[in-house]
């Protein structure tokens, strides 16, 4: 009384080549998304890292720098991992090379 009869339906015939082609077309948006992601996010980030590494390698004694903490100073000593930064008269602080964010033009700090 409450159960209706179920009738079998015939499935449409699948095309042998159409299945492979449609799966490739369904993957196309995903591949395009990764390509756009690479050019919009990954490549510019790698370029910034390369520029930062070149700036850190080019540090020299007497350069005026800004650290990631916002501290301004003049490079007084260079080490392999650390840089001594002269903040004022006789005050020197050691910071990691990677903490240097920017090299300022000469004469910026007075």
pLDDT at 1 over 80: no
For tokens 């490549």, name the residue: 43
Q: How confident is the model at residue 13 (pLDDT cuts 50, 70, 90)?
A: low
On whether residue 89 sits in a domain, the answer given is yes
What residue spans of 3-92 are helical by DSSP H?
A: 18-37, 43-57
Domain count, the chain: 2
Tell me: do 46 and 64 sit in the same domain: no
d(C-alpha 16, C-alpha 2), whole Å: 41
On whether residue 104 sits in a domain, the answer given is yes
On whether residue 9 sits in a domain, the answer given is no
Write the DSSP symbol of residue 42. Answer: I
On whether residue 5 sits in a domain, the answer given is no
Q: How confident is the model at residue 5 (pLDDT cuts 50, 70, 90)?
A: confident
pLDDT at 87: 94
Structure tokens at 1: 């009384």
pTM of the predicted model, to two decimals?
0.67
Q: Of all residues in the chain, what percent carry a pLDDT higher than 90?
A: 68
On whether residue 73 sits in a domain, the answer given is yes
pLDDT digits (tens, 9 = 90+) for 51-98: 999 999 999 999 999 999 999 999 999 999 999 999 998 899 999 999
On whether residue 1 sits in a domain, the answer given is no
On whether residue 8 sits in a domain, the answer given is no
Q: Which domain holds residue 46?
A: 18-58
């Amino acid at each position: 009384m409450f159960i209706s009869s179920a009738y079998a339906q015939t499935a449409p015939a699948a095309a042998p080549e159409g299945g492979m082609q449609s799966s490739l077309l369904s993957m196309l948006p995903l591949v395009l998304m990764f390509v756009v992601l690479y050019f919009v996010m990954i490549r510019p980030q790698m370029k910034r890292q390369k520029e930062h590494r070149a700036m850190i390698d080019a540090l020299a004694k007497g350069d005026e720098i800004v650290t990631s903490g916002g501290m301004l100073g003049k490079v007084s000593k260079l080490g392999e991992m650390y840089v001594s930064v002269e903040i004022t008269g006789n005050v020197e602080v050691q910071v990691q090379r990677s903490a240097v964010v920017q090299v300022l033009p000469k004469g910026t700090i007075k």
